[in-house]
Amino acid sequence: MTKLLMVKGVPADVCIQCGEIYYTVDAAKALESLENEVLKGSAKLTELDNAYDVPLAAAH
């Protein structure tokens, strides 16, 4: 079964013409770091029905 990882509060810009989402460099690095933590099993996850909800560390 595939699970979904939801990350709330990720700062991003959205193109008004095409709707593409652009992350700041800091946000992208924080997401990448979170991904690595999840893959290593060291991230604190809150299990939902078919997803995990995890906080994104504040981007500096």
Domain membership of residue 17 as a residue range: 4-47
pLDDT tens digits along 4-13: 677 878 888 9
Residue 35 lies in a domain: yes
Structural domains in the chain (count): 1
Residue 54 lies in a domain: no
Backbone φ and ψ of 46, nearest 5°: -110, 115
| Helix, strand, coil abundance in the chain, percent, nearest 5 | 25, 30, 45
Res 3: pLDDT? 65
Of residues 55 and 47, the one with the higher pLDDT is: 47
Residue 26 lies in a domain: yes
Residue 52 lies in a domain: no
Q: Is the whole-model pTM more than 0.85?
A: no
